[in-house]
Structure 1
Amino acid sequence: MGRPSRQLVIDDEVALQLQALELGTGVHPKVRLRASILRLHREGWSAPRLAQYFARTEQSIHNDLNRFEQHGLRGITDAPRLGRPVKLQAIQEALLIAKIDEDRVWTASQLAEVLEAEFGLHVTPQTVRQHLSSLGYRWKRARYAAGKALDPDVEQQHRASLDTLKKGRWTAN
């Protein structure tokens, strides 16, 4: 004999919240999928029918139902992932910021070399770029610009020289 069917009781208020999650544009696709599963389960769909419709295993459908039964709406979202630990600590971050604030242009490769020389920490230029991006820095192509304003007397002399050259009366000194 097969497994007895189970039916979760989902009230109208929670059903409206599930529908909002299902139709929400900024909602993670997994959460929308689980909301759809729960909404259809409320309408009487069995676990095998849901599994076939969503191309998932019956066990995964039961897992979703169990999570909802135990945790409510919070159960259909995934827990935040920790991921790989950050390689750069506060002291390395402070060095990066100090180097960037210097009056020169730094590349990500050069900053990675500085981190290796100062701390013995091997990071790729891509890691440096990602970390700087997370700190709010943006890459911008270096531009040539005058370092300071020209002295008006010197500028006048050069303009006079250019005018003479344009007229074709120049002499080699």
Structure 2
Amino acid sequence: MLNADEYRILKRAVASRKIAAGKARLAKIVLLSNQGYTATEIAARLGCNERTALKWIGRFNRYGVAGLEEGPREGRPRVYGPEDVGAVIQAALTPPQDFGLPFASWTLDRLVVYLSEQKGIGMGRTRVAEVLSHEGLRWRKQEGWFRERVDPEFAEKRGPSNGSTHPLLPTA
């Protein structure tokens, strides 16, 4: 039997237009049960499964109105564990030359290839960017047309310009 407070709360939930339809349906299951309907009759009347009606009536009997709240669900299991995320962050924060790689800075593509080949972590480019962003790390381009190059010996390695480019003339 419902007490006066429980009855008032459930009646208000059933009549409310602001509450989620699923919650209103659970309140209706409990109210119908209180009126003497069996789980089979409730299921037929509301168009749900008998086991569903039994489940929510049982939860209400054990926990009261709070039992009608759905608890957190587990959801999909994590694809990458904390060890994998840690390896991504450690690799991103370590200069590639420390791993014996022939370049001075990471790109997302280079990092993905390194993680796949050396660490066995098959994480995609977008996911690597998400992990770094989630840790507060911002990806930035270190080389650009108008900025200083990361490699200080770039000009010597590149060699002289070809003859078709005109030398820059000093400006006034």
TM-score, length of structure 1 as denominator length: 0.51
d(CA) in 2 for partners of 1:55 and 1:24?
22
1:157 aligns with 2:170: yes
State the Cα deviation string for residues 79-112 of structure 1 (Å, max 9, x = none).
Answer: 431631352425224226527xxx96733x5433
1:85 to 78, 84, 103: 78
Match of 1:98 in 2: 93
1:34 aligns with 2:26: yes
d(CA) in 2 for partners of 1:106 and 1:69?
58
d(CA) in 1 for partners of 2:133 and 2:24?
30
1:1-12 to 2 correspondences below 5 Å: 8-12=1-5
1:17-96 to 2 correspondences below 5 Å: 19=12, 30-31=22-23, 33-38=25-30, 40-41=31-32, 44=35, 46=37, 47-76=39-68, 77-81=70-74, 83-90=76-83, 91-95=86-90
**Runs ≥4 residues deviating over 6 A:** 137-140
d(CA) in 1 for partners of 2:10 and 2:136?
35
d(CA) in 2 for partners of 1:114 and 1:18?
61
Deviation at 1:58, TM superposition (A): 1.7
Amino acid at match of 2:74: R
Which 5+ residue runs of structure 2 have no aligned equivalent?
95-103, 149-167
Deviation at 1:64, TM superposition (A): 0.9
Any conservation in 2 of the 1:9–1:42 contact (CA below 8 Å)?
no
Q: Which moved more, 1:115-124 or 1:60-69?
A: 115-124
Deviation at 1:117, TM superposition (A): 3.2
Q: 1:42 to 1:95 in 2, by over 3 A?
A: same
Match of 1:120 in 2: 120
Which 5+ residue runs of structure 1 have no aligned equivalent?
1-7, 149-154, 161-173
Deviation at 1:14, TM superposition (A): 7.0
State the Cα deviation string for residues 101-140 of structure 1 (Å, max 9, x = none).
Answer: xx96733x54332222342222334543554465467899
Deviation at 1:71, TM superposition (A): 2.5
Deviation at 1:68, TM superposition (A): 1.6
Any conservation in 1 of the 2:13–2:23 contact (CA below 8 Å)?
no
